Chains A and B, each alone.
Chain A
Amino acid sequence: MSAAAPAHDHGHGHHDDHAHAHPTGLKRWLFTTNHKDIGTLYLWFSLAMFFMGGTMALLIRAELFKPGLQFLNPEFFNSLTTVHGLVMVFGAIMPAWVGFANWLIPMQIGAADMAFPRMNNWSFYLVVPAAILLVASFFVPGGAAASGWTLYPPLIIQQGIAVDMTILAVHILGASSIMGSINIITTILNLRAPGMTLMKMPLFVWTWLITAYLLIAVMPVLAGAVTMLLTDRHFGTSFFNAAGGGDPTMFMHIFWFFGHPEVYIMILPAFGVVSAIIPAFARKPLFGYASMVYATASIAILSFIVWGHHMFTVGMPAAGNLFFMYATMLIAVPTGVKIFNWIATMWKGSMTFETPMLFSIGFLCLFTIGGFSGLVLAITPVDITLHNTYYVVAHFHYVLVSGALFSIFAGVYFWLPKWTGNMYNEKLGKLHFWLSVIGFNLAFFPQHFLGLAGMPRRIPDYALQFAEWNMWSSIGAFIFGFSQLLFLYNVIECIRSNRKSEQMPWEGADSLEWTHLPTPAPYHTFETAPVIK
């Protein structure tokens, strides 16, 4: 394989700036414009926030271990659920995907870097002040925002300083996401190697192209929504105040116009990762590539017209409820296309089950459960009884934890050899998978029962009949939470070990970063574009 060729093609002229003049030590990480460095920063940041959000989740589950107030006061409990949600969505899942995008998109399309390397650095370094604002909000008078991550008025209007910090953090995160998305779209549209047509791009690139489009479309809407919260709080406007002619449900409409596409922002890149891993371990090309692309686009378009299913109980007109119910159910069609394509890819494949494949299959089974419970919740009359119960909590953790997070794990194990040059410990990887699957299901499956039995979400105490499943849920949560320390260990152990990875650790992998580049990928890649046939 002539893979190493690009590595010693350090250019001439102004190109030297890029190839040689990069600082080392702390300055390297602060000033870097290298997509791999920035990807690494995003991934480590995301991992740190994952543990922070996870700690909050375990505090919540510890409180809920048995009925009665144990050791948290209710206000603080509400702050924990709020900031757990915000940190996991904006601090853990989204930055992890941007980290993957940074590492992989330039390599997978044969580009030397992202289109705007300096802005790329800023996208990352904007996430940091936002995280500081969010976390610091726990320590101001009144405690962190306690409205739930959806920030609904009028509750959010009445709270203290922390809400302003949260709102400004959301503004900064929005700026970061928009810059990152513009960078990703421009890179994909303008920096592909000769011959890399759109329909030859790996599905991960396609899913990120569409994700970035969603981000640019909805992050500004969230910015607008929280700006109105801010002016309602401090400058006497009446957007969400019925006395002044406004309406609190107006916020819900604007928020969920952002919020529903946001869900797909977190899951579409997962589809991309799984579409890379399942073919590699089934040793067969992805079944129905083109239909995967069209299904992804359909999901994105539909995501703009289903937001009302988050608010079936607020008293929309019947026509609205019906429209949002049917539109929501339509999403099952393209999603089903994807699920069946992945299954068809495995059909008669010569399969092996290393950790990335295990997590991908775990994703496939468990995400489908989350999809089905979503379909249940899409039915308006059913949702009216299940709204704001633990059934909803179970549903979205099935799509976000066993959906988005499991595929992040799958992707990390899959690309660790490419990133670090070393192989992770397969036995410990599998152990991490099994502990995660068992812990996760124990934590969240019983929540379906709790919800069906009527247990409301966001409460620190509950009626006695819910005690037993809550206990099991808490036990599962702790198993799941602590087994993530094993993930941390696996990553660090992989980086430090000297189990050199082969050039092609996965024989079925066929995108450019495997076929055209050495393992580990050198600091600068594709300074001469490959020609794709």
Chain B
Amino acid sequence: MGNAQPGGYYYAPPSHWPIVGSTALLIMASGGVMLMNSIDGGGPVFGVGVAILVFMLFGWFGTVIRESQGGLFNKQVDLSFRWSMSWFIFSEVMFFAAFFGALFYARVYSLPWLGDADNKLLWPEFRAQWPSAGPYLPPQFSPMHAWGIPALNTFLLLSSGVTVTYAHWALKMGNRKGLILGLLATVALGFTFLGFQIYEYVHAYHELNLKLTTGVFGSTFFMLTGFHGFHVTLGAVMLTVILLRSIKGHFTADHHFAFEAVAWYWHFVDVVWLLLFVFVYWV
């Protein structure tokens, strides 16, 4: 049922932030193209784009926070935020689905086909068995074992899901100390996870000879874990912002959607990790 309350719903006034963001992306894209094609000056151009984007993010989110603190967002605006965050997370699910699709396709179809009778004529030595770097590239690499750091990271992320839920519970109880401690623990667990991921990458490159260029195994491994790591980084930065806002006292027991949005996002990266743990590291 429609429950519009015009006069109460906050419609943003004209703003220059979007066009600043578009300028940033155009510059970043140009710089990126230059970098990838070894054209001089790519780095600085890309850097300028990133700087403008960061400036825009601070300006835009700052504006939204001021609007929220100014009491401009009623229940209906809050519901808009809830719908939009849900659909945004759905779009992220589909983004990861593309890479999981690539992983499953490579394992279930591409690789067995490369090992079939026809291809035996081309590559008699090749054994089509996962993990594989394909018939042409020498397969002298080791995959990452699931029950070392990855298992520990699973534990860290699952724990961070608990701590962020504790923080939410404390927020709803009006327990600020619990809120801040819960968030601090979540942020700490998030960054620890990232630290371990970086260590794992270094280990992969130096000791396992497992690289982004290591055939389809390396491609799917690093793209999936890499994009996940990028999302954890984003989530951890957002949690940090929420932590700072909590310390400033921005959230009340019944008005704190920013907190919940970030918590939803955090649970999303958590679930993606569980899938990664099972399908990339374990089976």
Contacts and interface: CB of A to CB of B under 8 A. Distances in A.
A132 B2 contact: no
Contacts of B109: 247, 250
Interface residues of B, number: 73
Contacts of B223: 227-228, 231, 237
B26 to A, nearest CB: 4
B29 A165 contact: yes
A245 B91 contact: no
Contact of B10 (A14, A111, A231): A14
Nearest to A126: B22
A246 B104 CA distance: 11
Interface in A179-223: 181-183, 185-186, 189-197, 216-221, 223
B216 interface: yes
A117 interface: yes
Given A220-B94, A238-B219, A122 B22 contact: yes
Contact of B12 (A23, A117, A254): A117
A243 B136 contact: yes
A228 B2 contact: no
A245 B7 contact: no
Residue among A22, A115, A230, A257 facing the most chain B CB atoms (10 A cut-off)? A115
Given A112-B6, A254-B102, A33 B15 contact: yes
B101 to A, nearest CB: 6
A171 B12 CA distance: 26
B216 A239 contact: yes
Nearest to A527: B6
B270 to A, nearest CB: 19
A288 interface: no
A234 B37 CA distance: 8
Contacts of A220: 91-92, 94-95, 97-98
A244 B134 contact: yes
Contact of A132 (B1, B4, B26, B222): B26
A112 B216 CA distance: 51
Interface string B58-92: 00100000000000100010011001100110111
A245 B213 contact: no
Given A11-B7, A129-B22, A165 B216 contact: no
A197 B87 contact: no
Contacts of A196: 2
Interface string A102-130: 00000001111101111101100110110
B20 to A, nearest CB: 10
Nearest to A532: B2
Contacts of B5: 529
Nearest to B14: A31
A227 B96 CA distance: 12
A318 interface: no
Contacts of B196: none
Contacts of A302: none
Given A133-B29, A244-B219, A112 B9 contact: yes
Contact of A118 (B17, B91, B219): B17
A14 B6 CA distance: 12
Interface stretch (B110-118, B173-181, B242-250): B110-118
Contact of A223 (B17, B18, B95, B110): B95
B94 A218 contact: yes
Interface of B: 1-7, 9-19, 21-23, 25-26, 29-30, 32-33, 36-37, 60, 72, 76, 79-80, 83-84, 87-88, 90-92, 94-99, 101-102, 105-106, 109-111, 113-114, 132-137, 211-213, 215-220, 222-223
Given A118-B12, A235-B212, A241-B134, 17 more contacts: A14-B72, A18-B11, A22-B14, A33-B13, A112-B11, A118-B15, A122-B18, A125-B18, A129-B26, A165-B33, A186-B84, A192-B4, A220-B91, A220-B97, A233-B36, A237-B213, A244-B137
